[in-house]
Amino acid sequence: MEGWQRAFVLHGRPYSETSLLLDIFSESHGRVRVLAKGARSKRSALKGALQPFTPLLLRWGGRGEVKTLRGAEPVSLALPLSGIALYCGLYVNELLSRVLQNETAFSELFFDYLECLQTLAATEGSPEPALRRFELAMLGHLGYGVDFLHCAGSGEDVSDEMTYSYREEKGFIASIVINNRSFTGRHLKALYAREFPDIDTLRAAKRFTRIALKPYLGGRPLKSQELFRQFVPKKAPSVPPIKEE
């Protein structure tokens, strides 16, 4: 690859005594795995820069699945994520690492990701709306097409108070059965608009994205969710360091 690319580190782990193996998310090449040789050495200028949530300019090369990092420059300081927002950022990073295929461009999703991080860093209230918007945006970019505004059975516009049951590969069908896959027309309009004016629509959005993401994630739980459950009562660091395993 030639030239510099805007990118973020999604995840990193030690490789050999002095190097780092990184999953990065770049504007033009999507998710890429790169080897940062010598990045953990005491004299490395890269050690502090190659951290999650730091806007970077990166350059890499190589023909194999794992590229070699040729250069890295921080564009700015790391986005100030702390507390619950930090764990939400780790969750978004893990989603991208798990869901995106290697070296598949998602330029628009890159900016959805940046907007999500900026919103998490600036929001003092609940991070849930930002997460739901990002999940829905990611599903859309992955080609997960679903019509929120029309009944899949009749083709009619959804009605606010009518209940619809979600069925994979079909959409929402009017039904009197109430279960975890049931959504009102009001819920569906909120999902379409990606706007959640109250706790009811926000909870419905979370139910839907959990259902829709399950085929992409398989049966493996997300590590970030386990970390959240275990450590969120404690004070979280402002930036998650890459630690030795």
Q: Block means of pLDDT (10 residues each) for the chain, length 245 residues?
A: 86 90 95 93 81 94 92 90 92 94 93 96 91 96 92 95 93 94 97 96 96 86 67 48 46
Q: What is the pLDDT of residues 158-198, one digit of tens each?
A: 999 999 999 988 999 999 989 999 999 999 999 999 999 99
The CB-side HSE value for 219 (13 A sphere, CA atoms) comes to 0
Cα–Cα distance for residue pair 60/1, rounded to 1 Å: 6
The pLDDT value given to residue 239: 46
Cα–Cα distance for residue pair 221/207, rounded to 1 Å: 16
Task: Please choose, from the candidates 145, 109, 137, 147, the residue with its C-alpha nearest in 3D space to the C-alpha of residue 7.
Answer: 109
Cα–Cα distance for residue pair 170/134, rounded to 1 Å: 23
What is the reported pTM?
0.87
The pLDDT value given to residue 245: 42
Domains (ranges, CATH) in the chain?
5-74 (2.40.50.140), 83-230 (1.20.1440.120)
CB 180 within 8 A of CB 199: no
Strand (E) or helix (H) holding 28: none
